[in-house]
Every structure is written in structure tokens, then in C-alpha cells.
Amino acid sequence: MAWFRPMGAAEVAYHQETVVGRADDHPGAALAYYGSRGETPLRWGGAGAGRLGLTGEVTAEAYEAAFGPGGFTLPRTDRRLVVTERPGFELVVSAHKTVAVLGVIDRADAMHSILDTETAATMDWLDKWFQERGGRRGRAAQRTATSGLLYGVTRHGTSRAGDPSPHDHVLVANVAEMLDTRGGFKGLDSAALRDTVEAATMVGRLHSAARAVELGFTITADDGPSGRLRHWRIVGIPDEVCEVFSKRADEIAEHLAATGHSGYRAAGMAARATRSVKRHTGIEELVPTWHAELEAVGWSVERLATHLDRDRTGTGHLPVPLTDREIDALAAEVLDIDGPLVAGHKVFTATNLVAELAPRLYGRHPDELSRVMGRVLAAPGLVPLIGVAGSREQSYTTAEVLAAEAMIAKTVEALAGRPGPELAAGTIKTAIEKAEAERGHALTAGSGTWSSRSAGPGGPSPSWSESPGQARPQPWTAPPPSSPMPATRSSGPPSPAKPPAPWAPKPGSTPPPSPHSYGTSTTERSASTPAPSSSSTKQAWPTTPTSPASPSPPTEPTPPSCSSATPASSTRSGPAAPSPD
């Protein structure tokens, strides 16, 4: 998965013009990859689309009904199924650059077959996940079955820089049919979609790797510059060839270098800042340009094809299935407390396991994933958890994690009653003077209070900066540990009102949610259901163990290249990298 984002009016308009309106295509060549820019007609997909009788090509009228303002309206009718502000969500499945190069050297059929397999497997896994538990009902967000996803998919052939870059845009409509006893339609659980994209990405890559092997190509792992990409590449296509066709990635990298920024969020902003108008260039210009660029780096089409064929197996046979001993060794590696899964997610789900296991099986039959998952979930060191707040599916941890946390808790309890280290007033004074010199001004009253408390029994630091008329703070004294909190308020006269103090963390507490936290809009509801009251947005804070972690940010913030292809994903995935478009 190269990319995931909520759709807005601009995204809806873009696809309406370039795909539905055919403004980015050349007559008579819509399905030929290099016969045009590669934009194919938008076609319906997903179990949800089939349930509503939506099949074949998406017409302009159906597109407007599904993704127009106000919410999803059933095409060819006036029946609005949901009222939403968000029309849908866009996913991009992007082939590795070594796969894209196949089209340049007259292997376009193989290129299409590999990307077809990846997109189909990615969306099939997501669709099945949403069919099983994609709905949520009530304030408790009770998980329910749905009829599945409803989406349109179209293939683009090049990046905005004019390089070969086959990728599929998947436009997921913001609607889900609930299959519980109440039935009806609701807006899609966008947070669930965001958090499952990473696993779906890895499943898609697992299937496409197997397809590449079946076609006789030799593949190898590609973890990218960051070491966290978890992709695969075709052996026999040199890095310098991929770099020739990675101009879009170079544009983003140059913008980041010029601005001095880094990270996936900065890369997304750089992609938007450098996003040029997509060019309408035909076969007569694109292919000769690509061939000339290959010649310039010493790789003619003939030489590259020969080099690639030398590394092909020619057999197309997948490896024999893993033995039980091999699966047990893989399970021990994945569940190791210092491994990437457990180190990043002390509490995790089967979806997290899929994202971790699938890349370890590239080149094998995709059915191996189910075998390995079944054995890992039955591992003696895996502990199912009950009542994990916010979890959309069964959560797990390991016995090793529980033992480590118990030891930490025991150590904290033993140290809690011991006096802490004390800092001399002179040490505090020196530190404050250094900080004030670096900042060029005196510390604030709040900082001074903190410093005086840090000085220990010796009282406030002599370097305290007082404003005119400001009282010197008193040394801080901890309350007796046995002082109980009053069970009820006193019946005496009320105390004078005090301004609210800023929130400060307490041991074991959870910070309040950010008002900018990503999630499903509260306006996404059934067309026949009134908007929820403000009380319905209250959240119960999770208790130990914590809820399963969402995929981390995407690992590669640039369009695909030999050593840098873009997952979802991120996410380690989530919002993902900028689209090649």
C-alpha cells in the first residue's frame, strides 16, 4: 500500500475529471499500459457493491451519487443511505519499481499480472475483515458484521514526473450495511480501515511475491533505506535503473533537503508542494524517452532483458510448505520480547500478527500464512486478554511481557517508600544560570517553583528570580502517605472558587484525548438516525493492559523505487506515504 487518506472535495473532483470523465486517457487505449498514461475506467468492487447490485464500470451518474456531497445515495435512485460529510477514503496499491520496469522492457503482461494479484489480495483481505467485524454500534462501539466494502478501482500507469509507476487507486465509499438485528446503513468505521491497512498491505505483497515466483522471476527482500519497508523486489534489475525512473521521489527528497525537514509528515507536505499538473503524454513520447534514459546509464533494453533473464528460475515452482519445527522457530522469533512486534506492541491482535508474519513468508504459497497464524496463536507463551478497552478484536500479550511488567511493578512498589536523591542548591543554581544564559532571559515563575522544589530540604534555589511584589515559593513537602482522600464533601460553607489548574499526569493516569485526534466524524450516521448528543462522545479510559496499538506511521515516505517503495501504511503503517500521483 503506497498511501491512505480520507477523501475530500478535491480528491472527488480529481477522479471525476481524470478517470470518470476520461480526461487523462487516449481513445482506444484505455487498457494498454503504455498505449496511454495507463488510466483505466473506474470499476466497482467489494462485497458491499455486489450486495447493492453495483457491477462493471462506474458511470458519471453513479460516481456522483456514491461520492457526491451529503453522503452515499444509491445510484439510479434517490435513496440516501447515510448522511456524512466525508465522501470516502482513498487507498493506493503501488507496484515495486522493479515491477514497473518490466513494462519498459516489453514485459507489461507480467507487470500487470503481479499488480492485479497484489490489489485483489489487499482488498479481499480488507473486505473480509469488514464483513466479519467492520460495523460498530452504540456508545460501546459494539463490533458487528457488515455486508463488506464498496469501492471503485482504477489503474494509473505513470507518476506525475512521467516515470513508469503502475499503481491502483481504490476509492472506498463511506457506507456500510449493518448485518446485526437492527440492520440499516452507517458511515464506515474509518479508524478501523486506517488501522487494518498495514496488514492488508503485507497480505497483498505476499500474494504478489508468489505470483512473481510463479512467473519465473527470482525475488529477494527489500527493507528500504530505513530497514522497515518489508517489501520484495525482482532480482536482475539494477538499482541504477530504478533510480533513473524515480524522479518523483527525487523531487520530494530535494524539497525536504532544501527545507531542512524530515519524516513522513514532512514528506507528505513536500509531495503536495511539488505536485505538478499531471501531463497528458502519449505512447509516441513516453517509451522513447524511457529507452533513451536507460541508454544514458548504460542499460539498453536488450542488455537489461538479458540481465533479467539470467536471474530467472524458469521453473515457476513455489517452495515446499514449512515444517512444524520451522513454524515453531518462526513463532518464537515473532513473539520474542525484544522483537519488533512485542517491542512495539505489548498488547497486540491477530491483525498485528498478520502484518508481522506475512513479510517473512514472501515467495511462499499464500496459504502458508493461515498455517503459521494458527500455530502462533496456539503457542504456549501467548496469553489471550479479556476486556481490553478499545480493542476491535481479541487481544493478546505474552507470558514474558506479563512477567516483566510484574517485576517492574514490584520494583516500583519497593522503591516508593524510600527517600529519593537530593540535589544541592548550588547544583540547581548552576543549572538554572546555564539555562537562562542559553535562553537569554530569566526563567518563568513556574520554572522557578519547579527548581526550588527540586532542591530538596535545603529550600528554594538562591537563583530564584522574583518579580516585584512576588512572594518567594516555600519548599515543597510531600503529604503523608497515609492521608486518605475524603469520601464526601464537607457540609460547611463552600470554599472560594479557584481557577482550574492545568492538567498534570499522575501515576497510572491517562492523558485526555487531543481535540485533533483522528477518527470517524460524528456526523457519519444513518440517514434516519439523529445526530448523537455530546454525551455520546465521552470516552472511558483504558485500564491495564492497554489497548492494542494502531499501526505506526508509514515507513517509506517516497514513491516506489528499487530500494524505496512505499507501504501503508505505512502503516508500522497508518497514514501512509505520498502517492505517485
Q: What is the helix (H) or strand (E) element at residue 168, kind and residue range? A: strand 164-173
Q: What is the pLDDT of residue 271?
A: 56
d(CA 222, CA 219): 9
d(C-alpha 118, C-alpha 208), whole Å: 5
pLDDT of 450: 56
| Cβ-proximal residues to 361 (8 Å cutoff; 6+ apart), any chain | 206, 368, 369, 372
Q: Which residues pair with 570 in a beta bridge?
A: 568
pLDDT at 248: 59
- Residue 82 · residue 177 · CB < 8 Å: no
Pairwise CA distance, residues 216 & 49, whole Å: 35
From the number of C-beta atoms within 10 Å of its C-beta (0-12, 13-18, 19+), residue 467 rates as: exposed
Q: Which helix (H) or strand (E) holds 427?
A: helix 425-439
pLDDT value for 562: 64
Question: Which whole-number Å values give the CA distances from 259 to 79, 254, 256, 270, in the listed order?
Answer: 49, 9, 5, 9
pLDDT of residue 257: 61
- Helix 108-133 to helix 190-214 angle (10° resolution) is 140
Cell numbers at 425, concatenated: 542548591
pTM check: above 0.75: no
pLDDT at 31: 31
Helix (H) or strand (E) holding 434: helix 425-439
What pLDDT shows up at residue 548? 52
Q: How far apart are CA 113 and CA 110, in angstroms?
A: 5
What is the rounded end-to-end Cα distance, in angstroms, of the chain? 14
Q: If the chain, 581 residues long, is cut into consecutive pieces of 10 residues, what is the mean pLDDT of each piece? A: 77 78 41 44 95 94 93 93 94 95 93 96 98 93 96 89 90 97 96 95 98 96 89 96 79 60 60 54 74 94 95 86 96 95 94 97 97 96 92 95 94 84 83 86 68 50 42 44 38 44 46 38 44 37 43 43 45 46 59
| CA distances from residue 104 to 241, 283, 457 in whole angstroms, order as listed | 11, 11, 75
Pairing relationship of beta strands 135-137 and 88-94 according to DSSP bridges: unpaired
Q: What is the CA radius of gyration of the chain?
A: 28
Name the fold adopted by 324-413: Arc Repressor Mutant, subunit A (1.10.10)
Are 358 and 206 within 8 A, CB to CB? yes
> Cα–Cα distance between 152 and 91 in angstroms, integer?
10
Give φ, ψ of 323 to 5 degrees. Answer: -80, 165
The ranges assigned to domains in the chain are 3-310, 324-413
Q: Which amino acid is at 384?
A: P
- The H-or-E segment that residue 287 falls in is helix 283-296
The C-alpha cell that represents 115 in the structure block: 499488480
